[in-house]
Structure 1
Amino acid sequence: MSTRERLVESTRALLWERGYVGTSPKTIQQRAGAGQGSMYHHFTGKEDLAQAAIRRTADEMRAAVDAQLSGPGTAVERITAYLRRERDVLRGCPIGRLTQDPDVIAVPTLRAPVEETFSWLRERLAAVVREGLDRGELDAAVDPASTAAAIVAALQGGYVLARAAGTPDPFDQAVTGILALLGARTVH
């Protein structure tokens, strides 16, 4: 792994663990095994490096979600596969956690990939719901945009509740609840 890659990967891990303020350039350099000169050779500073790390996390998340939502099955089966996939619930969502970081949200270049990822996720889920409507799998009264927003809200809220409780149970309940609501709108 190149020095640049080590810096980006170290920053990604530290942002997830500590947030932006808790991630110092010195800590990034130590974790990456890189010197200050190497860091500033590849990046203009902490913000530039954090932006690269957030974009990388967002791109990987999008690719993984798209692969799951593009798989076989009905719309509800694909959404279920996405919501039930294995994840480290108590660590939270690496993108969702950034929304709670005031220093990320206050800086447009850091906030942008977070905002873009959630917009993309809502749009991608809405497209799957639309496919379900077009195939006659879902009740015609189902609104793709609001359903997608509810799915994302339940997922992100589930992370928050699980972290607060110190157990993945609230997350599992949130997923089960949203799937039950979606299932109730399935045409049988």
Structure 2
Amino acid sequence: MGLEVVGSSQAVLVLLQWIVQQAYSFAQQHAAQFGGSVTVTINPGLYNPTSSPAVQAFFQALQQLCGSYGTVEAMCEAMKAGGVFAWHGTDLSSLVNICRNSWNVNCRKCGIPAEFFGATPSVSLGYTKGGQHLILAFLLPSGFLSRAHGHVTVANPLHSSERYCLPVAVVSRSGVAPPGLY
């Protein structure tokens, strides 16, 4: 099955809608760690997946996983059951670039071959260089995902364009203007 079929599949579009709905709920559950309330700005690429490099990279990862599940529909249900939301802290310019293009595996920190996330906002806020905004990501259940001590890593492949983490939203402290993402 080609990437265009995965990307245009009704099941995948429903999965994206489900991810957006869950992101709002997940962010509100963690609002206390931001100081009480938050503003959730959904990544505009999720509303126009065909023109978003970040969403296309996510679709490529879904394509790689699809063969294990038999059908796109079965895969999407498995993603809902096993995928996780996690937080990523970074500086503002990197935040905007990640939301547009996904994580750049050539810009990893400390030479460690993975993208880092926190299971809670408090784990990731220290990496924001100002503590105002975090990326809320949806991580696909796969062999690239690992968890330990409140940290989550995704070892996206170095030599391919698929990304097993989707930048879903920017969550900002209440009263702080969300960044312009596009």
TM bucket normalised to smaller: under 0.3
TM-score (norm 1): 0.25
Higher RCO, 1 vs 2 (CA within 8 Å, ≥6 residues apart) = 2
* Bigger-Rg structure (1/2): 1
If each structure's strand is expressed as a fraction of its own residues, which one has the higher value? 2
